[in-house]
Amino acid sequence: MALPLILVSNDDGITAPGIRMLVKVAKKIGDVVIVAPDGPQSGMGHAITIGNTLRLDRSIAFDDMDVEAYECSGTPADCVKLAKFHVLKDRKPDLVVSGINHGSNSSISVLYSGTMSAAIEAAIEGLPAIGFSLCDYGHEADFSHTEEFVELIIRQALEHGIPENTALNVNFPKKSEEPIKGVKVCRQAHARWQEEFDERLDPRNRHYFWMTGSFVNYDKGEDTDEWALVNNYVSVVPCQFDMTAYHAMATLNEWDL
């Protein structure tokens, strides 16, 4: 029986530690092909390259793992598009996985995330997809505690399938002395980044801005991804790309249009 074909991408770049963990797990389960950015693409959201050339080259980053790998000059969404229509034009992936991202993509961050945009792009193309992220921005972030849960979720997705037009947003709490309590299916928390712009001067005395700020959670529910992560659970949020606010349509239909 043929092994499932698993496409792996990310937004931190093909040499990032998180993607190596993801490939390690995926190789236990199926045949793996990697198409990932040639450098960091964090915060790119669902950007695609339309005004510049796209380059795609075989990568040596995973030669030690005997995996077919390509690095792309474009965004995470570009990587998935090129994978589907060029690299795998004669093969259809059974699953697309993205990550493991170096930092949280819970709540509102899903809109800015290149990691999740790779997964959402796969869902747009009719492919089941999962984005994985670790809530640790530290340079020496430890991904080891994610391994068993990544394997569990991938195997369950392949066995049961993912609903059509849906990508799963999976976030892991930062590693601590307390073991992860389990996995919770959640909704996206109502929260946002409160940005601040620090105005500075460069060496030529020109003004520039550095974006800073803090994350503010307005949601007190115990069924959200933020609650799950704070309480040391893995959060799984099913995401869709139909952004229609259906509840607002009745109000707009009352306008004199």
122: in domain: yes
Rounded-to-integer distance, Cα 255 and Cα 251, Å: 7
Does residue 204 lie within any of the structural domains? no
Classify the phi-psi angles of 155: left when phi > 0, otherwise alpha if psi is within -120 to 50, otherwise beta: alpha
Give me the pLDDT at residue 39, please.
Answer: 92
| DSSP-H helix ranges across 104-232 | 114-124, 147-160, 225-230
Q: Which residues are annotated as a binding site?
A: 11-12, 42, 101
Angle between helices 147-160 and 17-29 (to 10 degrees): 50
How far is it, in rounded angstroms, from Cα 225 to Cα 186?
5
For residue 171, tell me if it sits in a domain.
yes
pLDDT at position 138, please?
83
71 within a domain of the structure (yes/no): yes
- Would you say 191 and 160 are in contact if contact means Cβ atoms under 8 Å apart? no
Tell me, what's the pLDDT at 42? 87
Look up the CATH number of the domain holding residue 182: 3.40.1210.10
CA distances from residue 254 to 163, 202, 248, 250 in whole angstroms, order as listed: 34, 52, 10, 7
What strand order describes the sheet that includes 56-58? 56-58, 68-72, 31-37, 5-9, 95-102, 129-134, 166-172, 234-240, 183-185
Structural domain contains residue 195 = no
The answer to whether residue 205 sits within a structural domain is no
Q: Residue 29 is inside which H or E element, if any?
A: helix 17-29
Q: Is residue 68 part of a domain?
A: yes
Cross-strand pairs, 152: none
Give the mean pLDDT per block of 10 residues along the chain (257 residues).
Answer: 94 96 98 96 90 95 95 97 96 97 94 96 98 92 96 98 97 96 97 90 95 89 96 98 96 95
Say if CB 9 and CB 76 are below 8 A apart. Answer: yes
Examine residue 208 and state whether it is found in any structural domain, yes or no.
no
Q: Looking at the 3D structure of the chain, how many domains does it have?
A: 1
pLDDT at position 235 is 98
Domain of 23, in residue numbers: 5-188+222-252
Q: What is the pLDDT of residue 213?
A: 83
**DSSP-H helix ranges across 58-113:** 76-82
* Binding-site sequence positions for a divalent metal cation: 11-12, 42, 101
Say what the pLDDT of residue 1 is: 75
